[in-house]
Structure 1
């Protein structure tokens, strides 16, 4: 369910916001246009939003600033604590993950996430999408920003490129977690009765907008 990676985020919490602005050279391309990526997710979202993988609250803050009602879910306590300290008083951020989470206090029209869905295996991704489909009314949306690859060759090339550059931490990340291809994501969403569109933002990250049919 992605919780096997929590220790990474417990250790990363205090420096995460430095990473997203490009201070870690290995992840500079992954987070290029970070604000624009989050803004795109906000733009595509409705008014009642459930956010998975809140992290340090950067997307949450943008959603709230746009006037949206947001319920956040984050499994890392260290990340959660930082998010709560940054967000407006009363913002709800609960302990949970993509598959095991408290029921939201409202019926959402949008489910969002940024830089997190790859923590799940493809089978877990499909189970998550199935559950979200039950939470959403017709035309409700899932809007995820995450690392996705055009195909398996592109994925393998990204790993080799990282190693060639001496970015061994990035290479290990790519080899360890569950990064999907465009076709795999299309299959997951369409099999659960969603239409899906993709917008590329940098060499790693795409924004995926899925609408319930």
Structure 2
């Protein structure tokens, strides 16, 4: 359920903010339009927000700036420490992950950026089912993450990364649990969500599910 990647999160903590602004050429396209992605997630969020994978608190800041109440869930102690310092107590940050998180009441939106791919497809389905039970009609799931239009598209991006010499990116694509839009669409619709997908770069789409 993503905890197997905790060591990677710890390693990324100190360099994450530099990576997202394009300082790492391998991941430049992955984080293209990063600020617009965060702003789009924040703009689509409502009410009391539970954010999974807070990381260093960049999305959290946008949510707070939009007047939203945020409960953040982050498994990495190093990431959580950086976020706490950045946010200065403006949000509650708790240890947890997409499937195991402290009980939180009156949730209106679940959000996440660049993290849902740490779950297998079965775990993603379990998570969406869980969130559906927490949300009333009109509640939302707003996730931005790397996902692909088809399994073939996914394979082509791995080949492209290798041809460009982006070996770290290729390794990530091969070892983490990236999924397809049809899978996510079907899973959300099966759990009483209407869903739209908006593309922001060659890798990242914003998925907005609204509980019906």
TM-score by length of 2: 0.98
Corresponding residue of 1:125: 124
Deviating 4+ runs (over 4 angstroms): none
Q: Supply the distance in 1 between the matched residues of 2:122 and 2:16 (Cα, whole angstroms).
A: 28
Are the counterparts in 1 of residues 44 and 142 from structure 2 also a CA contact under 8 Å?
Answer: yes
Q: CA deviation at 1:191?
A: 1.4
- Secondary structure at 2:14's aligned position in 1? helix
Aligned to 1:46: 46
Rounded Cα–Cα distance in structure 2 between residues aligned with 1:175 and 1:89: 37
Once the two structures are superposed, the pairs formed by residues 83-122 of structure 1 within 5 Å of their partners are 83-104=83-104, 106-122=105-121
Task: Compute the displacement of 1:88 (Å).
Answer: 3.0
Q: Whole-Å Cα distance in 1 between the matches of residues 145 and 42 of structure 2?
A: 14
> Following TM superposition, by how much is the alpha carbon of 1:90 offset from its aligned partner in structure 2, in angstroms?
4.7
Aligned residue pair count: 212
Give unpaired runs (5+ residues) of structure 2: none
**RMSD value over aligned CA atoms?**
0.8
User: Post-superposition shift, 1:42?
Assistant: 0.5
CA-to-aligned-CA distance 1:4-60 (integer Å, 9 cap, x gap): 001001011000000000000000000000000000001100021010000000000
Aligned to 1:182: 181
Query: Following superposition of structure 1 onto structure 2, how do residues 14-33 of structure 1 map, counting pairs within 5 Å?
Result: 14-33=14-33
